[in-house]
Amino acid sequence: ESEIPEDHPRYESLLTRHRIERGVDIGITSKQGLIAEGRGEAFDYLLGEETLPSADAAARAAAAHLLLAEHPVLSVNGNVAALVPGEIVDLAEASGADIEVNLFNRTDERMAAIADHLREHGASEVKGLAADGRIPGLSHERAKVDVDGIGDADVVVVPLEDGDRAEALGAMGKTEIVIDLNPMSRSAQVAAVPIVDNIIRAVPNITRHAAELADASDEELREIVENFDREAALDEAERAIREGDLD
């Protein structure tokens, strides 16, 4: 990572690419993860590679949901593990959430490598390996969850999730917080809280809000949750993409 000069105009995007490439090299990110990253980068470019005010409001609503939750869980896939392993551990600590590995292309090797990677970044417990529960309505491999993890969660953070699983989790009655740079993606469209932002910026931002709200009353937290307007957030992101000034 030190080879990229920090004053390079695309420093953040080069750093991100480097992390994803390394993720593939060490067996935590799938090859499809590279394609997903390319798609994400295109949207990030159109959004000006910065956090929109509506994405910041969504991150604050996400923090309030996590703090109010009985059992919040952060879902981690191969891209998330490569890009923000330490930041996910920080968010879990700030919000009292569990961490669960959940893969679109599930293999035992990748599950184990990601769990190890998260532990190396300070995670005390990583769920997902028991896989003793199922999400109804999905094919076998993609339905696997831990009974005492996502199976039991009332609030789940699902970054870069595929649309089918986002819908199926919603149908189970879980409150979904989605992080996805594409505001038109099905996961963003079905989320209670769609955060249209790069995961690199979004995860530390939720943590910052959670720390700020640590002493807030349940009433204040509920007010933040209720005042968040998901439609407005999706509309603002789409407008920024369509009308943005590109340099």
Minimum distance, C-beta of residue 221 to ligand PTJ, in the bound complex (Å):
25
CA distances from 69 to 124, 154, 189, 223 (A): 20, 6, 22, 14
Closest CA to 80 of 4, 16, 166: 16
Rounded to whole angstroms, the Cα distance separating 26 from 9 reads 28
Nearer to ligand PTJ by Cβ, of 83 and 225: the residue is 83
Nearer to ligand PTJ by Cβ, of 84 and 192: the residue is 84
What residues numbered 81-110 form the site for ligand PTJ, per CB under 6 A? 83, 103-105
Interface pattern 3-42 for ligand PTJ (x via CB under 6 A): ---------------------------x-xx--xx-xx--
Q: Helix or strand or coil: residue 232?
A: helix
Place of tokens 């529960």: 133
Closest CA to 114 of 126, 105, 97, 104: 126
How does DSSP assign 132-170, residue by residue?
A: -EE-TTS-HHHHEE-TTTGGG-SEEEEET--HHHHHHHH
Nearer to ligand PTJ by Cβ, of 45 and 130: the residue is 45
What residues numbered 147-176 form the site for ligand PTJ, per CB under 6 A? 160, 162
What residues numbered 199-218 form the site for ligand PTJ, per CB under 6 A? 199
Minimum distance, C-beta of residue 228 to ligand PTJ, in the bound complex (Å):
19
In the complex, the residues that contact ligand PTJ under the rule CB under 6 A are 30, 32-33, 36-37, 39-40, 43, 77-79, 83, 103-105, 160, 162, 179-182, 185, 198-199
